Structures are given as C-alpha cells and as structure tokens.
C-alpha cells in the first residue's frame, strides 16, 4: 500500500493528493476532482468542481450533464493547487484523456490512468512523462495481450464489411460508445457503404466532431423511418445493444466485437459474435513494459487489471513495484454480460434501455 | 498452410451451414490435390497419433518466448487452451513460410514421431519461427492431435459434392473405410462417376406425413395398402454387380454393421433394390428399439452381439428390378414383384415367405415367423373398413409397432417427404403427468432461455426424475417457464437449476423400458411436453407406480 508521506494515497473516495487537496477520478462526490477521461468508471457525478483538459470538456459534459461545474486546462499547462504543481499530459486513451503529473516537495508522481501507445487519429498521442513514482494501469498485463498495428485491423474491418456487403448483409460492430466507436469510424472506408450509428454512439461522435475531429459521415439509425433498408451498411453500436430488439430492424447481419479481449478465441466465441477485432484503447503487454521502464520511475504502483501478475513480473525484473486496489475497471466492464452468468437478464434490461437510455447505461464504464 | 488456416478461421467464425460449406468448397477449388487430401483427412476428424507430448511442447514454447514458467501458467489460465496459449506467447516471426499444408504435414509433422527430444525441439522452434499466430495455433493443434473444427463429416461431403458435381452418396461411399490422404486418393474421391461408384448408389427415400385427419377422408379403403409401422432403421438394401450395400436413411453405408442381412441379400437377383426397415428380431418377435441401439453405433459386430440382437430386414417396397428403376410403377405392381422375388429366394419354399394377414387380438405374431431368411415381407393388414382397421391399430403396442402405415396402391414411389400417398397413422402416445424439477439453458437461439427440462414423478413422497424434454411448448409458454425458473430456483449445480416443484406438464412419449441406468428404473422414448397442466397441483402428478404399470401394457 501507499505509505503516509506519499503524494497520492487511497481513500474511501479514491485516489487523493493531500498536498494539493484534490482527488483523481474519485468514485464518490468530493470537493475537487481531476478527471482523466470521461469513461464512467473514471468520471462520476456529484463532485463540486471538476478539472479536465479542454478537449475533454464536451464528452465529459455528455456524461455529467450540461450544468456540471467543469473547468478546462490545456495539455501541459501547469496549475498550482495548494502545495502541488499539477499538469495534465496526453494519455492517448480517448478524446481528452490525460495522465496527471504532480510535483511537490521535490517529488514527481504520475498517475497514468488508462493509456495506450500508437496512432489514434481521434485523440492526442501518449506523452511520456519522467517521474519518481508511476501509478500505472495493467488491464492487459499478460504477455498474451499484444496488439497489431491499427492499419492491419482497419484493413480487416473494411474487408469484412465489403464481404458482408457483397453478400447483402449488414455489418454491426459492437464497441464502447466513447472512444472505440470513433476510433473505428476514423478507420472505416466510407466508399464501401453508408455508416449508421446507435444513439449513444451518435451523441458522443457529435462531441468528437465539435472538438474538431474529422470523421466520416454517420447517420443515426434511430432517426430513420421504419422500413429503411440497411443492407450493405455498417452499424456502430455499444455492447449493450447486442441481442436486443433494436437489432431486428437491420435484417441479415454479421456481428463483430472490437476489444482487446478478442485476442482470445474462447472470449470471442462466448460473446457469440461472428468476428472479433483485436482493437483496444489500453496499452498492450509490450507497451506497458516500455512505458514503465521509460518513465525512469524508481517506484511503480499498479492499479486495475492483472495487478498481481504485473507486480510480480516487475519485481522479478528488478523494479520496485506494488499494487493498489482501485475501483477502475479498464476494459473489463465490457465483458460483464459474459461474466455475469445471467446474460439474458442483462439483455432484457439493455433492451428496455435501448435508444432512450443515458450514456452510463450504454457504454457502462468503458 | 496459409489457405488451410484461412479455411479454419472461416469455419470458426460462422455457425451457418451454408457458409461453412461454401468456405470448404472454395478451399477445394483452390487447393492442390495433396493439400485437399490432408484437409479432408483433418476435417473429417482423422488424426495422426500424438506426435509430441504436450508438456514438452510447452517447455519449448516457454523457452522461445523467454518467459518465466509461472507467467506461462497465468497466461494459460486466461486463455484456457494450450495450443492457443503457445501461439499467442511465441515471438513474432520475421518470415512467414509459404509451404503447403501437405509439405508441412508430410515433411515436418509426421517425421516427428519417435524422433529424439533434441530433434523434436529444434523442429518445433524452427517451425514456429516460420508461421504467424493463426498458423501456429493450427500447427500446435495438429501436433497435439487436438485439431477440431465445427463441421460434421456430412458437411464435408456436401462441400465435396458441390465442388466436384459428384453425388454426395458417392462421395460418402468413397470416404468409407481406411484410406491414405494422397493426391491420388483425392483425385479418385472427386473423379467423375465410374461404373464402380454407380453400383452402391441408393435412391432418395420417400417419407410419410403423419395422418392428422380422420382416415375416412382418404376415401375407399380398398385403394389403400395398410401395413404395420415398424420401429427400426429405415434402410435400402442394394444388390448390384454381385455386391450388397445397405444404406440407412442418414445416408450412411452400414453394410458391415448388419452382416447377417448382407449375407442373405447376396442371394437377391442382381439389380435389385429393396426399401424396408431393419428390425431387431428374435423368436418370432420384434424386439424393442432400445435393443437395436446396441447395434447402431457398432462398426465391429461380434458373434455375441449377433446372437443377442439378431436383425432382419422387413422389406416393404421395391425400387429397382433387373437393374431398372421401377419407382414410377404403381405400388400394387412393385409389391407383387417384390413378393415374387423374396418368395423365390433359394432355400425358401414359396409358402414360407408368406403374405398372410395378422389376426387381431395380438396373440398371434406375424405369420412369417418360421422363415429362415432374414429378408422378410412386411405383411399387409387386410380390413374391409376403416373402423376395422382402427381396431387393428389399437393392438399396435402389443405387437411392438408404432401404428399403421397407409400407402395408396396406385401411387409411384416419390422422393422425400410429400403429402398425399403415404401416411403414418401412429397409435396415440403414452402420457404421464410429471413435475418440472430441473431446468437448463438451451443452445443456439435458445441459449438465453431455460428450455431444457427434467421432470419427476412421485415415489414415496419424493420426486424421482423420469424424463427430459425440450419440445412441445410455444415460445410464449417457454418465456413463462423461463421466468418461473429464474424466480423459483432453490439450488444450482453448475448450469442446472433445481426449481420449486410446482409446474405440472403432461408428457407424451412413444415407448417405455426398464433401465438400470436410471434412478427411476425406467427410460421413456421421445418424451415431449404435450400440455401444460395449469389445472393440476404438483401433489396430483403421477406416481412412479402408475408409470411403471405402462411397462405391462
């Protein structure tokens, strides 16, 4: 556990910086919260003041409501909070996602939150930040999780789409409404056919466009009249839409799931989709190891994911590592219908929530 | 290897039969004969004996991946499959080999057998270096003998038939027995038809519809032939070119499983095809179907089995005579020729293989009992009115038959299931009122619903399971039962839920047997839910004594 004199400690409400008197992604209402990104396990309502990067304000408002007390800063801008100097640096996870750099009493700590390396047109790329203590995620902290370049995955997706189109089928990709959907959208080849969206995806895609991200045109499937023909099109939908009556309008479909978990054949089969695309907004095994080394940190604190395995691995490789039990879920949340033993009940609640639900139901904590 | 891997992926990514067939067909269109032969070999579930022990493979994979053993273990726990774990952990290859499936199997995989560890290790490390992840996965599966893909032999046959334009039955026949996966084998497998392949070919079966209306609607009873509906294996017996072939309705060549029938059938004149039912038959009685099940799955038939469960062919139609297709001839004429053929068999005096009617009452057995031959004529039932026939039908159970078959005497032998000329008029099923005790989720479309039920009847105040049933309810009723199951679960054993014993269903079933394998001491055949007895409280469901009493009927 993190010791008393540390810059960050774990409290009832989450990660707390006493020197600056603020929380990072608290899971309860607090006076001052820094939000690393707008996924629901990191951005929860009820706090009195929120700080996030300017790029992320739109999507955060989509989650917390238009009246939420949100203040924005530029990436890299130094903000003094109490005895601490704080800066938010790009994490490369989704639009407006950041790592939190805190310096105080001659120490530099970085909270990575969720991050990934690599090229993503829909958000700022990860910036490496040197530090003394690095608090890292480990969602995919096993060596079986290694990603291939985005280009290859997008080629796979576009090929799959055109094959389905030629067979007169509609292609549905399930992925988080925030981040994953827009990243896929940016990689799609719109010359193949029309692209439709589920309401939750459309709303957040709108925020991405408002933030200046150029994305292929989309049509909100819910805005169309009954009897619209969807054959040959591609549809972006949140995982909760799988198996709901909402899907019936599309006729003959081929389904796919886009997630790092699709790396495992059994996981794909249990999700009952035709195709799995290995596409994650989290660092893979190699990236986790590279970033942890490159920060130069003497001390590594591992949060959500394969925590125990990662800590043991780092220790065996000569690093000082320990774990910290947070309530962040990483990409695990999207596997919930799978692990929850009761897929049917999940589906039923999802069916009721379709199209009318709030984001928190649709992409429950991406 | 690349194409075979792509085929595996395509088969793995769909549950649709047509897409699987089309993926295989496309593979056969592009593959060399050598590759195609091996693909058929692996797709039909054949495998070389284990070549390398799995723990050794794991050791070498750990070494190549440069990981501690515990990390391999954690990874295996997350993946759940050894071949896949190794494929995912091995370092990326710099060069993907273009070698074919046949080359990999013949030059690399098969020589691994019996090679010293050092050689096996080197071969594995080298081969992994030349494959991408997907290929390594297949490769590891082939080497560990654990290669499986979701296609049945029948699907492979259908794909081969589409690819080659050769009849599926011919392909099925050519795939029988032992063969080596060589280019020559594959060539012969899909070669244009030869006399040799024609010889075994059966005709498509004509199948009857259940009679749901009053038989009087069928008109004059003298236009119809009535026979018992036998409960056996629908089969065609073919005698051509001095050879006998026995086909079951599942398009399976089963000649070797019923040698006693094959032995007698060789006496048939050349160019004869009979349609009939293989029945377990002992001392003038047809045995229950469960006895026949002992023989269905056996490819090797021991003398003991042939003594315990002797079989006969109860022939009821003639499809080919003197090498000519006679299906267009009216039944009346076909039957008459068939009778002549079977009565004229050597060693059988004409009076013996008779066509005498069964008497009513069930005390007398079919009159053909004294025949030495195992090829019998299914007797016709002589009645002057539908009422009389209806009474005869009531004796079905005592004769161990399922009811009556009605066939129009003037009709040709048709193809497939068609209404009009053949009807099955089954005796009403047995029924019992049983209580829902366990429920399990279905599969496929029903995967999210509790649709597979176990039912119990009362035995000294406790419910003893007697039957499992999956069918008979409407979708609406299934959803209702599903809700009940979720709200009334009292215990769980893995996927099985034990529910409050409240719901009573009338189960219909076709037969009942003593069984030492079941706790209740009985086994029922084809149970299904006939009616939801919402009016009946669980306490009033049947007792095991009542159900056992049906054994005596």
ipTM value of the model? Answer: 0.87
**Most A CBs within 10 Å, among B11, B13, B134, to test the A interface:** B13
Q: Which residues contact B61 (CB under 8 A, 6 or more apart)?
A: B72, B85, B86, B89, B90, B124, B128
Please state the φ and ψ torsions of residue B299, each to the nearest 5 degrees.
Answer: -90, -30
DSSP reduced 3-state for B376: strand
Count other Cβ atoms within 10 Å, centred on residue B531: 16
Is B69 in the A-facing interface, judged by CB distances under 8 Å?
no
CA proximity to A102, closest of A16, A192, A177, A212 = A16
Distance CA A234, CA B523 (A): 51
Nearest to B14 among A146, A266, A274 (CB): A274
pLDDT digits (tens, 9 = 90+) for A253-276: 899 999 999 999 888 887 778 899
Cβ pair B12:A265 closer than 8 A:
yes
How far is B143 from chain A, CA to nearest CA, in Å? 19
Q: What is the pLDDT of residue B407?
A: 97
Please state the φ and ψ torsions of residue B324, each to the nearest 5 degrees.
Answer: -105, 140
Q: What is the pLDDT of residue B178?
A: 65
Q: B447 contacts in A (CB within 8 Å)?
A: 272, 343
Q: Which residue has the higher pLDDT, A5 or B544?
A: B544
Q: Which residue has the higher pLDDT, A2 or B440?
A: B440
Cβ pair B449:A266 closer than 8 A:
no
- A-B contacts at Cβ under 8 angstroms: 48
Q: B88 contacts in A (CB within 8 Å)?
A: 144, 146, 263-264
Distance CA B421, CA B187 (A): 42
How far is B394 from chain A, CA to nearest CA, in Å? 46
Q: Which residues contact B121 (CB under 8 A, 6 or more apart)?
A: B56, B60
Cα A196 vs. chain centroid, distance in angstroms?
21
CA proximity to B268, closest of B344, B319, B202 = B344
Alpha helices in B190-269 (DSSP H): 195-198, 259-265
Q: B13 contacts in A (CB within 8 Å)?
A: 274-275
How far is B88 from chain A, CA to nearest CA, in Å? 5
Cβ pair A275:B13 closer than 8 A:
yes
How far is B530 from chain A, CA to nearest CA, in Å? 26
A234-237 and A170-174 beta bridge pairing: parallel
Please state the φ and ψ torsions of residue B483, each to the nearest 5 degrees.
Answer: -60, -45
pLDDT digits (tens, 9 = 90+) for A177-203: 999 999 999 999 999 999 999 999 999
DSSP reduced 3-state for A280: coil
Nearest to B75 among A143, A274, A344 (CB): A143
Q: Is B416 exposed, middle or buried (0-12, 13-18, 19+ CB in 10 A)?
A: exposed
Count other Cβ atoms within 10 Å, centred on residue B351: 9
pLDDT digits (tens, 9 = 90+) for A82-125: 999 999 999 999 999 999 999 999 999 999 999 999 889 999 99
Nearest to A142 among B12, B75, B482 (CB): B75
H/E element holding B494?
Answer: none
Interface of A with B (CB under 8 A): 142-144, 146, 243, 263-266, 272, 274-275, 306, 309, 312-313, 316, 343-345, 347
Q: What is the pLDDT of residue A350?
A: 34
Half-sphere exposure in the Cβ direction for B117 (13 Å, CA): 7
Q: What is the mean pLDDT of residues A325-344?
A: 50
Q: What is the pLDDT of residue B357?
A: 38
Among A278-282, A303-307, B372-376, the minimum mean pLDDT is found in: B372-376
Q: A312 contacts in B (CB within 8 Å)?
A: 70
How far is B11 from chain A, CA to nearest CA, in Å? 10
CA proximity to A208, closest of A124, A117, A317 = A124
Pick out chain B residues at pLDDT < 70. Answer: 173, 176-178, 193-198, 250-251, 346-372, 443-448, 553
Cβ pair A142:B70 closer than 8 A:
no
Q: What is the pLDDT of residue A61?
A: 95
Distance CA A261, CA A331 (A): 8
Q: B78 contacts in A (CB within 8 Å)?
A: 142, 144, 264
Cβ pair B75:A144 closer than 8 A:
yes
CA proximity to A53, closest of A27, A79, A32, A30 = A79
Cα B443 vs. chain centroid, distance in angstroms?
19
Q: What is the pLDDT of residue A21?
A: 96
Q: A264 contacts in B (CB within 8 Å)?
A: 78-80, 84, 88
Distance CA A99, CA A90 (A): 6
Distance CA B402, CA B282 (A): 18
* Total count of residues recorded for chain B: 553
| Domains in chain A, CATH or no CATH each | 9-145+281-328 (3.60.15.10), 150-279+343-362 (3.40.50)
| Domains in chain B, CATH or no CATH each | 2-144 (1.10.3260.10), 206-426 (3.30.470.30), 430-552 (2.40.50.140)
Cβ pair A312:B70 closer than 8 A:
yes
Beta bridge partners, A168, equal: none
Q: What is the pLDDT of residue A111?
A: 97
pLDDT digits (tens, 9 = 90+) for B501-515: 999 999 999 888 888
Nearest to B448 among A144, A266, A344 (CB): A344
A143: nearest CA partner in chain B:
B89
Q: What is the pLDDT of residue A158?
A: 97
CA proximity to B534, closest of B510, B506, B515 = B506
Is B84 in the A-facing interface, judged by CB distances under 8 Å?
yes
Distance CA B336, CA A342 (A): 62
Distance CA B170, CA B166 (A): 7
A145: nearest CA partner in chain B:
B88
How far is B197 from chain A, CA to nearest CA, in Å? 36
**Residue A311 near residue A323 (C-beta atoms within 8 A):** yes
Structure tokens at B191: 């070669």
Q: A313 contacts in B (CB within 8 Å)?
A: 68, 71
**Residue A118 near residue A149 (C-beta atoms within 8 A):** yes
Cα A218 vs. chain centroid, distance in angstroms?
21
How far is A275 from chain B, CA to nearest CA, in Å? 6
**Angle between helix B69-79 and helix B54-65 axes, rounded to 10 deg:** 110
**Residue B501 near residue B432 (C-beta atoms within 8 A):** no
**Residue B476 near residue B482 (C-beta atoms within 8 A):** no
């Amino acid at each position: 556990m993190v010791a008393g004199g540390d810059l960050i400690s774990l409290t009832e409400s989450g990660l707390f910086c006493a020197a600056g008197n603020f929380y990072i992604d608290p899971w309860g209402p607090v006076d001052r919260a820094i939000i690393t990104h707008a996924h629901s396990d990191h951005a929860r309502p009820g706090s009195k003041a929120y700080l996030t990067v300017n790029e992320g304000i739109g999507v955060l408002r989509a989650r917390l409501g238009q009246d939420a007390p949100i203040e924005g800063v530029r990436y890299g801008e130094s903000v003094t909070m109490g005895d601490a100097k704080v800066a938010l640096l790009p994490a490369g996870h989704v639009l407006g996602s950041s790592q939190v750099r805190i310096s105080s009493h001659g120490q530099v700590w970085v909270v990575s939150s969720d991050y990934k390396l690599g090229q993503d047109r829909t958000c700022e790329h990860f910036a490496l930040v040197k530090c003394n203590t690095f608090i890292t995620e480990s969602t995919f902290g096993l060596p079986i999780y290694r990603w291939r370049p985005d280009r290859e995955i997008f080629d796979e997706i576009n090929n799959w789409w055109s094959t389905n189109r030629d067979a007169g089928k509609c292609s549905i990709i399930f992925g988080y409404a925030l981040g994953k959907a827009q990243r896929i959208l940016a990689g799609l080849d719109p010359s193949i056919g029309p692209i439709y969206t589920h309401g939750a995806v459309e709303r957040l895609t709108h925020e991405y466009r408002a933030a200046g991200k150029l994305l292929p045109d989309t049509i909100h499937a819910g805005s169309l009249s009954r009897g619209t023909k969807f054959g040959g099109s591609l549809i972006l939908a949140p995982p909760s839409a799988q198996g709901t009556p909402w899907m019936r309008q599309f006729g003959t479909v081929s389904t796919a799931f886009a997630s790092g978990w699709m790396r495992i054949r059994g996981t794909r089969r249990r999700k009952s989709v035709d195709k799995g695309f290995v596409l994650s907004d989290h660092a893979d095994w190699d990236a986790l190891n590279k970033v942890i080394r490159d920060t130069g940190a003497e001390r590594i604190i591992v949060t959500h994911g394969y925590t125990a395995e990662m800590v043991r691995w780092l220790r065996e490789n000569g690093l000082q590592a320990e774990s910290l039990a947070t309530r962040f879920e990483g990409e695990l949340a999207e596997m919930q219908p799978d692990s929850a033993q009761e897929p049917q009940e999940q589906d039923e609640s999802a069916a009721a929530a379709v199209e009318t639900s709030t984001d928190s139901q649709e992409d429950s904590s991406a | 290897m690349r194409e075979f891997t792509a085929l595996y992926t395509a088969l793995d990514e769909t549950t649709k039969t047509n897409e699987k067939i089309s993926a295989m067909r496309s593979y056969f269109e592009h593959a060399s004969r050598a590759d195609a032969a091996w693909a058929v070999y692996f797709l039909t579930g054949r495998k070389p004996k284990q070549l390398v022990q799995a723990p050794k493979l794991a050791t070498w994979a750990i070494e190549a991946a440069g990981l501690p053993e515990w990390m391999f273990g954690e990874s295996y726990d997350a993946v759940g499959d050894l071949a896949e774990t190794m494929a995912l952990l091995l370092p990326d290859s710099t060069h993907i080999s273009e070698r074919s499936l046949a080359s990999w199997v013949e030059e690399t995989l098969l020589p691994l057998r019996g090679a010293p560890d050092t050689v096996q290790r080197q071969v594995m490390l080298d081969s992994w270096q030349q494959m991408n992840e997907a290929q390594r996965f297949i490769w590891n599966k082939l080497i560990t003998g654990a290669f499986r893909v979701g296609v049945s032999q029948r699907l492979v046959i259908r794909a081969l038939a589409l690819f080659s334009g050769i009849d599926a039955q011919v392909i099925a026949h050519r795939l029988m027995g032992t063969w080596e996966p060589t280019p020559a084998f594959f060539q012969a497998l899909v070669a244009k038809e030869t006399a040799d392949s024609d010889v075994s070919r059966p005709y498509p079966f004509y199948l009857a519809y259940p009679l749901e209306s009053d038989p009087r609607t069928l008109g004059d009873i003298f236009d119809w032939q009535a026979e018992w509906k036998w409960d056996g294996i629908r089969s065609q017996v073919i005698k051509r070119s001095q050879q006998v072939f026995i086909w079951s309705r599942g398009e399976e060549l089963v000649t070797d499983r019923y040698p006693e029938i094959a032995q007698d059938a060789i006496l048939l004149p050349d160019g004869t095809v009979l349609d009939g039912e293989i029945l377990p038959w002992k001392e003038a009685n047809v045995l229950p179907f469960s006895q026949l099940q002992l023989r269905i799955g056996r490819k090797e038939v021991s003398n003991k089995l042939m003594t315990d469960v002797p079989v006969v062919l109860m022939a009821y139609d003639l499809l080919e005579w003197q090498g000519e297709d006679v299906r267009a001839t009216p039944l009346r004429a076909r039957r008459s020729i068939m009778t002549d053929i079977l009565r004229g068999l050597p060693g059988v005096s004409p009076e013996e293989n008779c066509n005498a009617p069964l008497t009513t009452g069930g005390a007398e057995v079919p009159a053909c009992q004294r025949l030495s031959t195992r090829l019998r004529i299914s007797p016709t039932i002589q009645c002057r009115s539908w009422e009389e026939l209806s009474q005869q039908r009531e004796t079905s159970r005592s004769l161990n038959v399922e009811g009556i078959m009605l066939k129009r005497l003037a009709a040709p032998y048709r193809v497939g299931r068609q209404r009009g000329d053949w009807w099955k008029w089954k005796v009403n099923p047995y029924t019992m009122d049983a209580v829902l005790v366990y429920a399990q989720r279905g599969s496929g479309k029903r995967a999210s619903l509790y649709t597979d039920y176990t039912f119990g009847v009362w035995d000294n105040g406790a419910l003893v399971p007697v039957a499992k049933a999956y069918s008979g309810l409407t979708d609406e009723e299934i959803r209702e039962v599903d809700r009940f199951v979720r709200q009334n679960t009292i215990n769980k054993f893995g996927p099985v839920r034990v529910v409050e014993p409240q719901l009573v269903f009338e189960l219909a079933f076709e037969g009942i047997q003593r069984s030492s394998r079941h706790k209740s001491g009985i086994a029922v055949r084809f149970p299904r839910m006939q009616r939801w007895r919402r009016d009946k409280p669980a306490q009033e469901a049947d007792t095991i004594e009542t159900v056992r009493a049906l054994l005596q009927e």
